[in-house]
Chain A
Amino acid sequence: MKDFNGKVLFLDRADINTDEIIPAKYLTEISKSALQPYLLEDLKLANFSLEDLKGKSIILTRENFGCGSSREHAPWALEVNGINLVIAENFARIFKQNMFNCGMMAVELSKEKIDEIFKTFNGKETTIETDIANGKLIIKSSDTNIEVDFSVSEFDKSLVEAGGWINYADKNY
């Protein structure tokens, strides 16, 4: 299973699309690792710089993350940058499925909870520990520590445990 713990990158915007996550011109790459320098290159977000990605393992954002193209290059670009977990209000269907298909996680929390996390932690160095077995996110900064419950469907969980949909399907169909 992949690692779902680490420092958090806050992206305070809704509808971040797959062209922003990885522009189409890089889809000519046929290895995942080649995508590494280009993650979020076209993100339209005030004060965001690609430097902000350094050392981050988790993205926390607003609604409809990953809308647009079906490109699995979006989760791959995250993966090769050490990001295996995105937390948002909700996701575009294909992006979310691609994340779990790769054994990564797209976790949905309520708008209220996302608001609270942004309010409490955005701007501070924040880490999240993910307890999948008990469905808990432990969110920490130097002065605050909260626990948030989350759930992913039984099927998505089995994909994460199997290491993705190919392993699962190869075994079952």
Chain B
Amino acid sequence: MGKTIAQKIFDSHKVDNPAGDINVINLDAVFCHEITTPVAINDLIERGIDRVFDPNKIKAVIDHVTPSKDSKTATQAKIMRDWARKQGIKDFFDVGQNGVCHALFPEKGFVRPGYTIIMGDSHTCTHGAFGAFAAGVGTTDLEVGILKGVCAFHYPETIKIEITGTLQKNVFAKDVILSIIGKIGVNGATNKVMEFTGPVVDRMTMEERMTLCNMAIEAGGTSGVCYPDRTTVDYLWEFIKNDYSSKEDALEDFSKWNSDSDAAYSIKLTHDISNLKPMMTVGYKPDEVQEVNGKEKIKVDQIYIGSCTNGRIEDLREAAAVLKNQSISPDVRGILSPATPAVYKQALKEGLIDIFMDAGFCVTNPTCGACLGMSNGVLASGEVCASTTNRNFNGRMGKGGMVHLMSPAVAAATSIAGFITTPDKIDEERSQLK
């Protein structure tokens, strides 16, 4: 019997099998941010074991609330800063260099095919886009990861999702993953890896694959994963060109991780997206999805474009294409948070920031802030937000607020109309408003 990509990664990293199907695996990278790491740091200090297993394998960032908004968040940032200095963690990203962890770390080349990665953040599954096993964990797992470089998991079962067909105009990776979550439910992949394959994934850019894998956790998945291919090699080339004689050489090496054709899956699905329309969520769970049909006018108060799901340069281009020479509705406020400094700079260079600002958007520094209702765009009770983020939980972006998840293109169209709509309907619906 063959193996899945996740199983191959596990087998090559196995340290122990303490009981049943529990595998303790060694870690190629431990990612840290200022919300879940300080408690681990303080606990290690209290226990008198204030060490790290390998400072080169720990990557740390202040991203959730930055620059700090109050004494408490300043303290969290300071604990991270002091710890990174003391432990000699070179890859530490502070104000000025910092951005949303799951956008920043791939951009820096920290994620490679075959890697095992944990972070105290559920959207760590994003990094599976590179053919890695990447899982969100709690602070205790993180603490052990920092100290020992290991983590325990059940031997991975996998759901294979073959995505077929051709995406229609104005339909994006976000719509694909929302439709998959809608199909299998918020508990549909619990304790399982979600392996995304098929011609649609093959054609996707790394950024689109990251959007896909980012929301695996919203179906309960342990990690999302895509096979490493030529697109992966091209993205990583500047970081790996000294390790391989050619791109072909790198591709051949990475391909060893790809699932065997006779690998065992717990579920195999084919998901045809040929007729997929722009999607949005309605209730308080990410599986409550429907097409953006415009039948009911859902008015919004805020539009948020950003996050580890949809705050990368391609997302900004997608939204800016809709916003060009347009103005947002006077009834809404628009917030753009480019996910990293590099995304921000690139957007400036391409004139995208001008488009957003001319349309009436506020542009914030890179941060997770508003996505989880911590800063830079918190909703008041009763307010509605059209958001490119990943969670529509009750109170997620502010107590009593309502969140509708969608693609950057639909969010941009919505900012112009003042209610949720698709880019192709803007002109028509604007004239109706008048």
Contact = CB atoms under 8 A, between A and B. Distances in A.
Interface stretch (B38-46, B299-307, B313-321, B339-347): B38-46
B140 A158 contact: no
B2 to A, nearest CB: 25
A17 B138 contact: no
7 tightest A-B contacts by CB?
A: A72-B138, A98-B138, A101-B140, A42-B395, A24-B372, A28-B72, A155-B19
A132 interface: no
Contact of A72 (B139, B144, B191, B399): B139
Contacts of B399: 23, 25, 42
- Bin the interface of chain A by size: 35 or more
A30 B42 contact: yes
Contact of B16 (A75, A102, A173): A173
A166 interface: yes
A101 B314 CA distance: 39
A30 B138 contact: no
Contact of A23 (B24, B144, B395): B395
Interface in B17-36: 18-20, 22, 24, 35-36
Contact of B220 (A20, A28, A32, A92): A92
B374 A173 contact: no
A16 B26 CA distance: 32
Contacts of B143: 166
Interface string A18-49: 01100111011110100000000010100000
Contact of A97 (B38, B70, B137): B137
B368 to A, nearest CB: 9
A158 B18 contact: yes
Interface stretch (A62-70, A113-121, A123-131, A141-149): A62-70
Contact of B393 (A17, A70, A90, A154): A17
A161 interface: no
Contacts, number: 142
B186 A15 contact: yes
B396 A72 contact: no
- Bin the interface of chain B by size: 35 or more
A134 interface: no
Contact of A70 (B16, B122, B284): B122
A155 B155 CA distance: 13
A155 B17 CA distance: 10
18 contacts: A19-B396, A24-B373, A28-B65, A30-B42, A67-B187, A67-B220, A69-B122, A71-B36, A72-B36, A72-B138, A93-B220, A94-B122, A153-B20, A155-B20, A158-B18, A166-B144, A169-B148, A173-B15
B59 interface: no
Contact of B284 (A23, A44, A69): A44
B49 interface: yes
A82 interface: no
A70 B138 contact: yes
Nearest to A91: B190
Given A25-B374, A94-B138, 8 more contacts: A19-B394, A28-B65, A69-B372, A70-B122, A71-B138, A92-B190, A155-B19, A173-B24
A169 B16 CA distance: 11
A4 B73 CA distance: 34
Contacts of A19: 372, 391, 393-396
B374 A30 contact: no
Contacts of B76: 28, 30
A90 B190 contact: yes
A165 interface: yes
A112 interface: no
Contacts of B240: none
